[in-house]
């Protein structure tokens, strides 16, 4: 009866919220299961970034409500970005849900879940958020990552006004977490055996500007902590890039030569319509300088196609940039109109869905060509791998290299005939082959 489960949707930043929810429920002496079918109460942590993510949240919610109607679970709780965005209108749409919770520290959510599993009706079926999260430690987390790596959130919110994005309306303006708070959490994770800290934020390169600091200050402090950890930086906005970061990426042994830097597009007219800072030329100059100042750097990026007013020539410019810089780690999505965003009011011709699909396919085809070439060049080389899943019955473990962020980039399969590999091991392996999906096949 005291068993609860959590269904997580969305990005790494949302996963941290899921880990906070799990920890708050554990503090209420609730048993946490990874299997929703074995739980009394299931918490759904939702995403509302773009249309497909929102539909995934609705589908997952309906699936849980169906299970509740069949008596397979007893209660459904909905939390996170979808609730924060649509607030009580969501409760009106889904009256069968037992509890809704806006983004908060989730202590009240955990207490309400405790009431549900104990057969008591919570004091309220809707938990309002207390306002913007302060830039402080958010409490302990029950990690949902393997233990080899963990996400470290360095700030909240975003000050950019990208026309297509609803995140500032959900998460609020940018607030840098104070250095002491970030360092304290990092030390806790390192002491727990985490070998890779993945720095995340809505805009990681904006860290520190509101408190008179810059991101390189924080990265230096984190990299110099005692331990055997490495740092990986995600969500680096290309505008106002803190160039003091490149010496760290190039030279510090604990800072991986990898950078996730979402560009969204390469054509200046599209970037301007998106309200992105800078031009296509400036984007290319930023990428070129990164590759020049950090030899061997792996750049990951994100692109959006099908934005209103986008032309075939604009997409060709984007594809050419992906080809020129050999961008092999790239996520792409099709624009979807979002309520209460500037793009929803643009007086620009929409791109037909079938045209947007064709443009996305063309972009991903070039990405896949780049990936196949880059991965093939690794065959015969030795690379360092961090193990995320220990050896199975066939002696195969799964990990990732410095060139691959966990969960979003290619995986590395490692065979060891002598010893069983454990989660968190970091070792050198020889690359023997590449799978059709671009994953590396290696042996110790």
Print the SS3 string covering 108-157.
Answer: HHHHHHHHHHCCCCCCCCEECCCCCCCCCCCCCCCCCCCCCEEEEECEEC
- pLDDT tens for each residue of 203-244: 999 999 999 999 999 999 999 999 999 999 999 999 889 999
CB-CB contact of 444 with 418 (8 Å):
yes
Q: How far apart are CA 277 and CA 234, in angstroms?
A: 19
Q: Which residues contact 177 (CB under 8 A, 6 or more apart)?
A: 135, 136, 137, 153, 154, 155, 156, 207
Q: Is the pLDDT of residue 180 over 90?
A: yes
- pLDDT tens for each residue of 283-303: 999 999 999 999 999 999 999
Asked whether the domain spanning 149-376 has the same topology as the one spanning 3-127, the reply is no
**H/E segment holding residue 270:** helix 268-273
CB-CB contact of 337 with 367 (8 Å):
no
The CATH number given to 3-127 is 3.40.50.12160
Q: How far apart are CA 420 and CA 345, in angstroms?
A: 57
- pLDDT tens for each residue of 413-422: 999 988 899 9
- pLDDT tens for each residue of 323-336: 999 999 999 999 98
Compute, in degrees rounded to 10, the torsion defined by CA atoms 100, 105, 110, 113.
0
Q: Is the pLDDT of residue 344 over 80?
A: no
- pLDDT tens for each residue of 18-44: 999 999 999 999 999 989 999 999 999
Q: Which two tokens stand for residue 290?
A: 């990164």
Q: Which two tokens stand for residue 198?
A: 């993945």
CB-CB contact of 81 with 49 (8 Å):
yes
Q: From the CA atom positions of the chain, what is the Rg in Å?
A: 22
Q: Which pTM was predicted?
A: 0.93
The CATH number given to 149-376 is 3.80.30.20
**Domain boundaries in the chain?**
3-127, 149-376, 382-443
Task: Please say whether the structural domain 382-443 has been given the CATH code 2.40.50.140.
Answer: yes
């Amino acid at each position: 009866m005291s068993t609860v489960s959590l269904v997580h949707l969305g990005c790494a930043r949302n996963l941290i919220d899921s880990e906070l929810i799990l920890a708050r429920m554990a503090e209420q002496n609730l048993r946490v299961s990874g299997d929703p079918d074995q739980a009394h109460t299931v918490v759904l942590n939702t995403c509302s970034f773009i249309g497909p993510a929102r539909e995934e949240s609705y589908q997952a919610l309906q699936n849980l409500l169906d299970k509740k109607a069949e008596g397979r679970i007893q209660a459904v709780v909905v939390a996170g970005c979808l609730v924060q965005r649509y607030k009580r209108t969501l409760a009106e749409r889904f009256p069968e849900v037992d509890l809704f919770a806006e983004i908060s520290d989730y202590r009240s959510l955990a207490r309400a879940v405790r009431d549900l599993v104990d057969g008591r009706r919570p004091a309220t079926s809707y938990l309002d958020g207390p306002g913007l999260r302060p830039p402080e430690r958010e409490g302990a987390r029950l990690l949902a990552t393997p233990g080899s790596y963990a996400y470290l959130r360095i700030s909240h919110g975003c000050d950019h006004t990208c026309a297509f994005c609803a995140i500032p309306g959900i998460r609020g303006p940018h607030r840098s977490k104070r250095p002491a708070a970030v360092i304290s959490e990092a030390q806790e994770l390192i002491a727990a055996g985490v070998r890779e800290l993945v720095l995340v934020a809505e805009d990681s390169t904006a860290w520190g500007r509101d408190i008179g600091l810059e991101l390189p200050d924080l990265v230096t402090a984190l990299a110099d902590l005692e331990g055997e950890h490495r740092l990986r930086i995600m969500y680096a906005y290309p505008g106002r890039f803190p160039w003091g970061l490149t010496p760290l990426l190039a030279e510090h042994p604990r800072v991986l030569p990898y950078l996730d830097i979402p560009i969204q597009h390469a054509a200046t007219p599209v970037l301007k319509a998106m309200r992105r800072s800078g031009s296509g030329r400036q984007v290319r100059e930023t990428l070129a300088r990164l590759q020049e100042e950090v030899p061997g750097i792996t750049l990951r990026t994100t692109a959006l196609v099908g934005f209103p007013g986008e032309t075939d020539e604009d997409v060709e410019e984007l594809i050419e940039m992906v080809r020129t810089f050999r961008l092999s780690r790239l996520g792409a999505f099709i624009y979807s109109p979002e309520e209460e965003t500037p793009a929803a009011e643009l007086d620009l011709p929409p791109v037909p869905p079938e045209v947007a699909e064709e443009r996305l396919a063309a972009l991903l085809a070039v990405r896949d060509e780049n990936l196949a070439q880059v991965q093939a060049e690794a065959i015969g080389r030795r690379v360092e791998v961090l193990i995320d899943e220990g050896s199975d019955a066939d002696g195969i473990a799964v990990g990732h290299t410095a060139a691959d962020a966990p969960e979003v980039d290619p995986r590395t399969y490692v065979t060891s005939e002598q010893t069983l590999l454990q989660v968190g091991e970091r070792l050198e392996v020889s690359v023997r082959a590449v799978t059709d999906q671009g994953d590396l096949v290696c042996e110790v």
